A and B are shown apart, each in its own frame.
Chain A
Amino acid sequence: MPDLSAMLEHLPAFWGGFLVTAEISVLSIIGSFIVGLIVALMRVSEAKAARLFALCYVDVFRNIPFLVLIFFAYYGLPEVGVYIDAFWTGCLALSIAVGAYVTETLRAGIVNIDKGIIEVAKSFGFGRIKLYTKIILPIAITSSIRPLGSVFINLILTTSILSAITLGELTSASKIIASTTFRPFEVYVFLVIFYGALTFALSALIATWHKHLNRYNEV
């Protein structure tokens, strides 16, 4: 018979893994947003080289399995003298890989802005930097907030793949508990609950933020 109470004594171990997962998720969300923002700006830039680079970046990283990417970074790079520990390998790989999706999401938000609004700003003499910081990005981020939320929830779920490079995050912690207790059913029920808590918290945050940012669309 499944017995969930048998898991109580392993809660500290779950909690340890949970904290690693939460930490890496938060850092990678910030990282992928920064990467995605920079590449999205290159993607819509007037410089051809920047646009080309951005396009290649997006295509490459949306077409590499994430597992292959982290194996390459964790096991492949040391061969050429680059050593990064599992935690930072995970953060970097997630930031770069998910950054490609953030790029496409933000780009859609930018190109969907009414051209008339941008022309008005130009006609008033806004330079490029102010045009982006005061008008284009605030509107683009507001309209992209929900799709960005989905991208980031996917990011949280993808962190479980980092168990493959020996990072002691939630999924590896659970595997260890399962192998010592021989109670995989109860262990994975708990695992689902922990991931659910993280993604639910993010969804709630996104929903609140969406509401706040979109206050101007309410009539």
Chain B
Amino acid sequence: MIEIKDLHKNFDDLEVLKGVDLTIRPAEVISILGGSGSGKSTMLRCINGLEEISSGSVVVDGLDVTKKDELKAVRKKCATVFQQFDLYPHLKVIENITLAPVQVLGVSKTDATNKARALLESVGLGDKADVYPAQLSGGQKQRVGICRALAVGPDYILLDEVTSSLDPEMTAEVLEILKNLANDGMTMISVTHEIEFAREISNRIVFLDQGKILCDLPTADFFSADGGMADPRIAKFLSKMGTGS
């Protein structure tokens, strides 16, 4: 369980998160929506300590991310997939996936490689194990990014606009994979602009506005006329994103 309580985050004078409370239970899939600059990425980055929190608390399965050794354990539980893929350019696809299991978790090289091959196979990239990231398309890179995250056997997957750098066709192939993961019961926190995708995979939708949670509703309620849509800011956001029927 991830428990975020009264989370504040400042960058110097700029207050980006102004008291966020959010609890994520196992097997939940949560989508975080909100305008640009509303603090979505910052919130996600606070969960695994990529940003130091200014006040409040973030606790993952009882581990406090502000404590150095507990943060280490948190990082082993959470795996992130980033918008820009950020694969290690100097390592082959297979090594990109096995690096953290071998170096951080101490898995044997053989076990890690076998698992990585199976993961690649499952996302349709079985033949790309031995090429370098520079030789992949964007969609293929992101599928490798997802394999890399899954390879550490995470309890939580954090996704930050993982399809924003992809064209529609590639977006579809990546979303398909994430949908399967959600169905398999993986706990996911996904920042996204893909409203339809959010609607399809999430149990809950969290709408962030200027550093505060404007609403946190079960998906069906969020999209109903007397739920989230009743709030003009949300209705406006959704109509701008081209959905919201």
Contacts and interface: CB of A to CB of B under 8 A. Distances in A.
Contacts of B50: 119, 122-123
A142 interface: yes
B95 to A, nearest CB: 10
Interface residues of A, number: 22
A217 B152 CA distance: 27
A116 interface: yes
Contacts of B100: 121, 124-126
B104 A219 contact: no
Contacts of A138: 90
A182 interface: no
Given A134-B99, A142-B90, A217-B89, A120 B82 contact: yes
Nearest to B104: A125
Contacts of A130: 103-104
Interface string B86-105: 11111110000001100110
Interface stretch (B17-25, B32-40, B73-81, B119-127): B73-81
A44 interface: no
A135 B134 contact: no
B92 to A, nearest CB: 8
A215 B132 contact: yes
A153 interface: no
Contact of B80 (A117, A123, A135): A123
Contact of A123 (B75, B88, B89, B133): B75
B132 A216 contact: yes
A218 interface: yes
A201 B134 CA distance: 31
Contact of B89 (A117, A119, A125, A126): A117
B129 to A, nearest CB: 14
A116 B81 CA distance: 11
Contact of B82 (A116, A134, A215): A116
Contacts, number: 66
Given A116-B84, A120-B80, A125 B134 contact: no
B90 A124 contact: no
With most chain B CB atoms within 10 A of its CB, the pick from A114, A125, A142 is A125
Contact of A125 (B72, B87, B88): B72
B48 interface: yes
B135 interface: yes
A134 B103 contact: yes
A139 interface: yes
A90 B192 CA distance: 61
Contacts of A218: 132, 134-135
Interface string A82-123: 000000000000000000000000000000001011011111
Contacts of A217: 89, 132, 134
A215 B48 CA distance: 33
Interface in A165-219: 215-219
A123 B87 CA distance: 13
22 contacts: A114-B86, A116-B82, A117-B89, A121-B88, A122-B75, A123-B78, A123-B79, A124-B75, A124-B99, A124-B152, A126-B100, A126-B103, A134-B103, A135-B90, A139-B89, A139-B90, A216-B91, A216-B132, A216-B133, A216-B134, A217-B89, A218-B132
Interface of A: 114, 116-117, 119-126, 130, 134-135, 138-139, 142, 215-219
Interface of B: 48, 50, 72, 75-76, 78-80, 82, 84, 86-92, 99-100, 103-104, 132-135, 152
Given A124-B79, A216-B91, A217-B89, 8 more contacts: A114-B86, A117-B89, A120-B80, A122-B75, A134-B99, A135-B88, A216-B132, A218-B134
